[in-house]
Amino acid sequence: MRLTLAQRETLWAFAFLVLPLAFFLYFRIFPAFQALWLSLYEWHADPAQRRFVGLEHYARLLEDPLLRKALANTLLYTLLGVPGQIVLGLIVALLLRRVPFGRDLFRAIYFAPYVTPAVAVAWVWSWMLSPHFGLVNELLALLGIPPQPFLQSPRQALPTVAWVVVWQNLGFQVVLFLAGLESIPRQYYEAARIDGAEGWQLFRHITWPLLNPVLVFSVVIGTIGYLQLFTQVVNLNFTDQGGPLNSTLTLALYIYQLAFLRFQLGYAAAVTVLLFALILLVTLLQLRLLTRRVEL
C-alpha cells in the first residue's frame, strides 16, 4: 500500500519521538512508580529481607512532627519566594524597558546569578552573612545597625534563605518579563493613548492582561522550584543542615536525610510520593486559577 505524504510525515514524526519518549519514560515515569512501590516496603539491601508493610509508612506521615515542620517550611518558602521574585522581576523589567541604552548589559548582569552554580552562590552568601566577619553585617554596622545572626537565628534563617533564592532567580524572571513585554504590540498602547489612557491605566488594561501567559509560566515554574528547594538550604548552612531548630528544613532535604543518613528508604519514598502529589495538586490549581482568556 502506497502511503501519502501526510502519512509518511506522521510516521517519521513518531519515529523521531520514540527515543526521547523512551528516555522520558525510563528516567522520569519509571522512577516515580519505583518510589511508589518502594514506599510499600521496609527496604533492605538483601531482597530476601525486604518486608511488605502496605500503608504503614503513609500512616506514619500523619504522626511525624518533623515532617509537619518540613512541610510548613516548604510552603512558607513558596509563599515568600514566588511572589517576591515575580514582583521584583516585573518591576526591574519595566524599569529596564525605560533604559535608553545598555539594556543588554543590564540584562546580562541580572541574569548572571541565575546561571551561576547554586552551590557557589550559597557558599558566597554563607560567608557574606556570617555574624562575625560577614560583609553584610559590616555594611549594617556603617548604618548603626547591630550585627544580625541571619542563618544562626531560628527566626531569621528561613527568610534569609528565601531572600538568597529570590536574588539568584531574579534574573530569570527579568528575562521572562522582558520577553513578554516586548511581545505586546505597540499599536495597543498607541490606541489607548489616543483614548486618553496613561500610566497605571495602560499597565492595568493592556500590560498586565497580555502578560498572563508569562505570569502563569513564571508562577508554576517558580512554585515547583521552591517546593523542591534543596541545594541552597544545604549549602548556606552546611554544618547545620536544616538550620537551627530545623527552621530551614524542607521536604526535599528531609527526604535526603531519611534516605541517605538514616537509611529509611521506604519511609523516604513515602515522603517523596507526598511531595509529588503536593506539586501536582498545586500546579493543577495554579493552571486552573491563573489561566484566563484575554479580551481587548
Q: What is the pLDDT of residues 245-268, one digit of tens each?
A: 999 999 999 999 999 999 999 999
Q: How many CA atoms lie within 13 A of 13 on its CB side?
A: 6
CATH code for the part of the protein at 64-290: 1.10.3720.10
Which sequence spans correspond to the domains of the chain?
A: 64-290
What is the structure's pLDDT at 1?
A: 62
Q: Is 41 helix (H, G, I), strand (E, B) or coil?
A: strand
What separation in angstroms does the CA of 23 have from each of 11, 18, 27, 249? 19, 9, 6, 32
What is the structure's pLDDT at 292?
A: 67
Q: What is the pLDDT of residues 35-81, one digit of tens each?
A: 999 999 998 777 778 899 999 999 999 999 999 999 999 999 999 99
How is residue 294 written as a grid cell? 484575554
Burial of residue 283 (number of CB atoms within 10 Å: 0-12, 13-18, 19+): middle
Identify the band that residue 87 occupies on the pLDDT scale cut at 50, 70 and 90.
Answer: very high
**Cross-strand partners of 42:** 51
Percent of the chain with pLDDT over 70: 98
Q: How many CA atoms lie within 13 A of 180 on its CB side?
A: 23
Q: Is the dihedral of CA 199, 205, 206, 207 positive or negative?
A: positive
Arithmetic mean of pLDDT, 129-145: 91
Report the mean per-residue pLDDT for the chain: 91
Identify the band that residue 295 occupies on the pLDDT scale cut at 50, 70 and 90.
Answer: low
With b for 16 or more beta-carbon neighbours within 10 A and e for fewer, the 71-101 pattern comes to bebbbebbebbbebbbebbbebbeebeeeee
The Cα 89–Cα 274 span in angstroms is: 31
pTM of the model: 0.89
